[in-house]
């Protein structure tokens, strides 16, 4: 166990650890129909997720008639209220996620979350699913204040500060995650089963996995044979 190359692994939430698409999709459609817009098929919502709740709503409005900046703040709160009340009706860990988290913990690895979802919503979701205790820290898109969320590196720097880690890797599914990890000088693994806003192989990650069964061996390979200079950077 001692030869594992990282003492902390951080995760994005939506589309990485948890498949939240249906619950987010219902909340998005609730907001859209409240202003007379058409609903978006749930299978199409995945492509709209990324960058936080406000960005998802902006994407949904753009698709159904255009973004109205005047009503966007109030409509965002309407979406959030519905989502909070129905936060885990369909949401689950991706296949292999529980075993992967157990294996990392058994190796003594500290687990953390850095998500552009609001911190209160992230904690409520993890609480509802009984997962909060697994993570040393949960950092949301609003935790550090305005203009600090991914793809900026501030959240990942804070994650490292809070955990006291010496070698950290990050796992995500979008350009927001890869961009933040690159800016923070961290190795990053992309999951192909998430809400990828570009083809997984084009995200710029050090590696792409198709199932959580592959995460630990992939991290071992990257950690011992870093493909890019940034992958061996220690903060």
Q: In whole angstroms, what is the distance from residue 24 CA to residue 14 CA?
A: 9
62 contacts: CB under 8 Å, gap ≥ 6: none
CB < 8 Å & 24+ apart, contacts of 59-67 = 60/28, 60/31, 60/32, 61/32, 61/37, 64/32, 64/37, 64/38, 64/40, 65/37, 65/38
* CB-based burial, 91-127: b 16+ in 10 Å, e otherwise: bebbebbeebbebbeeeebbbbbbbbbbbebbbbbbe
Within 13 Å and on the Cβ side, how many CA atoms surround 121? 26
Active-site residue list: 12
């Amino acid at each position: 166990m001692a030869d594992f190359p990282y003492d902390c692994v951080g995760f994005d939430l939506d589309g990485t650890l948890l498949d939240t698409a249906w619950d987010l999709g219902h909340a998005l459609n609730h907001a859209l129909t409240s202003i007379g817009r058409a609903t978006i098929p749930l299978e199409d919502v995945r492509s709209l997720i990324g960058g936080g709740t406000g960005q998802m709503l902006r994407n949904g409005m753009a698709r159904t008639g255009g973004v109205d900046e005047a009503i966007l703040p109030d409509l965002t709160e309407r979406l959030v209220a519905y989502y909070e009340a129905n936060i885990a009706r369909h949401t689950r860990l991706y296949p292999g996620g529980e075993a992967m988290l157990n294996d990392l913990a058994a190796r003594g690895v500290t687990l953390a979350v850095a998500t552009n979802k609001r911190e209160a919503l992230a904690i409520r979701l993890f609480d509802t699913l009984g997962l909060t205790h697994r993570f040393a820290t949960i950092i949301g898109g609003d935790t550090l204040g305005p203009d600090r969320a991914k793809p900026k590196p501030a959240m990942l720097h804070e994650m490292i500060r809070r955990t006291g880690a010496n070698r950290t890797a990050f796992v995500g599914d979008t350009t927001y995650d890869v961009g933040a990890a690159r800016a923070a000088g961290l190795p990053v693994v992309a999951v192909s089963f998430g809400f990828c806003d570009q083809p997984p192989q084009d995200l710029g990650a050090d590696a792409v996995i198709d199932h959580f069964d592959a995460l630990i061996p992939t991290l071992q390979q990257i950690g011992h044979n870093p493909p890019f200079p940034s992958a061996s950077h220690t903060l």
